Amino acid sequence: MTETLTSGGRSPRARRLFARPETGAAVAALVILVFFLAVAPAFRSADSFFTVLYQSSTIGVVATGVGLLMIGGEFDLSAGVMVTTAGLANSMFCWWFGIDLWVGALLSLALCLFIGFLNGYLVMRTGIPSFLITLGTFFVLQGANLGLTKVITGSVTAPDISRMDGYGFLGKIFASSFEVGGVTVWGTVLWWLAFTALAAWVLHRTRTGNWVFAVGGSADSARAVGVPVDRTKIGLFMAVSFLGWFAGMHTLYRFNTLQAGNGVGNEFLYIIAAVVGGTLLTGGYGNAIGVAIGAFIFGMTSLCIVYAGWDPNWFKAFLGVMLLLAVLVNLYVKGLATSAGPARKAEAP
C-alpha cells in the first residue's frame, strides 16, 4: 500500500497529509472553486452552490461504489445504463402487473444486485478483465432497456408512475428536497454524504476495507495471505449495482418517467470522478472522500461553465481542460509528498 509513507525530508504530519489520495483533489477543488467564484458572479449564491451539490450527488452516489471497485482493482462500465435499468424495471413491472411501487423497487434492487453479482462472478470465474465483462453487460443492458421497454409499453418511454400506489412514500425516500433558509437542498446530497462516510469508514476502519486495498494491490498475494478475493470483488460489484439502483430510483421518482436510452456515457463520469479524486486506475490506492471531491469537481465544472456564461459550443472543451487541470494539480500535490528520495523508493513494491 502506498499510503504507509513514513520517512522523508518534511515533517511527518505534512507528509502524511500530502500523501493522502484526497489532498490533491481537495486542492484542485479549492482552486477551481476560487476561480469560478471570481469569473462567475451567478455562482456566488447559496442556491447555485446547492444546485452544484445536487448535480455532484447524482454522479457522486454511484461514483462512490465505482471508486471502491477501482480501489479493488476492477472496472464497471455497466454502471451508467444500470441506473436506467433500475428505474425501468421498477416502473414497467408495476405498470404491467398493476402493483405497488415498493414491490417493484425491491424487485429492481434484487435485479441490480443480481447483475452486480453476475459481473463479479464472471470476472472471477473466467479471469477475463472486468473491462470486457462489464462492456458486455453494458451492451446487454442497453439493448434490453430499449427492447423490453418497447415490447412492454409499445414505446421507448417508461410509463408515468405518479399515480401508482407507493409513489408518495418512495418519492420522499429517493427524491425529496427541503428548504433551509430559502435554499432548496436535495435529499440526494445527504444520501451522497452518508454513502461517502460509510464507504470511508468501511475502507479505513474495517477488515473488509483492508481486503479491498489488498485485492486491488495484488490479488495473488492477497489470496496467499488468506483474503477472500472472490468474495471481496463480487461484493464490490454488488456495491456498485446497489448504488446504481439508488441513483436509478432517484431519477425515476424525480422524473416519474424514463427514456429507455438514457444513462449511456455516465459510466465514464463515475470513473472520471474517482480518478480526479485520486483513485489509481491500476487499483490498490484511493479513498472515498477523494471520490466525493472528484464528483464535486465534476459537478462544479460542468455547471460553472454555464454560470460563467461561456459560449456553450465550447462546453466539452472547457470541461476537458478543467478535468485535466484537476488531475495535474492532483499529481503535483501528490508529487510534493513523494519528491524526497527515500520515501519514493520505500513505496515501490
**Minimum gap (Å) between residue 91 Cβ and another protein:** 10
**Minimum gap (Å) between residue 46 Cβ and another protein:** 11
Cβ atoms of 30 and 345 closer than 8 Å:
no
**Minimum gap (Å) between residue 171 Cβ and another protein:** 13
* Distance of alpha carbon 100 from alpha carbon 141, whole angstroms: 24
Long-range contacts of 267-271 (CB under 8 A, 24+ apart): 267/66, 267/76, 267/77, 267/78, 267/79, 267/80, 267/81, 267/138, 268/80, 269/59, 269/63, 269/80, 269/298, 270/59, 270/62, 270/63, 270/66, 270/79, 270/80, 271/66, 271/70, 271/75
**Minimum gap (Å) between residue 207 Cβ and another protein:** 20
* Distance of alpha carbon 10 from alpha carbon 22, whole angstroms: 19
Of 227 and 300, CB closest to another protein: 300
Q: Is 143 helix (H, G, I), strand (E, B) or coil?
A: helix
Of 129 and 143, CB closest to another protein: 143
Of 156 and 336, CB closest to another protein: 156
Of 97 and 332, CB closest to another protein: 97
Question: Which residues here bind another protein, judged by CB under 8 A?
Answer: 40, 42, 45, 47-48, 51-52, 54-55, 58, 94-101, 103, 106-107, 110, 114, 117, 145-146, 150, 154-157, 159-166, 184, 250-251, 254-266, 299, 302-304, 306-309, 312-313, 315-316
**Minimum gap (Å) between residue 35 Cβ and another protein:** 16
* Distance of alpha carbon 41 from alpha carbon 44, whole angstroms: 6
Of 196 and 266, CB closest to another protein: 266
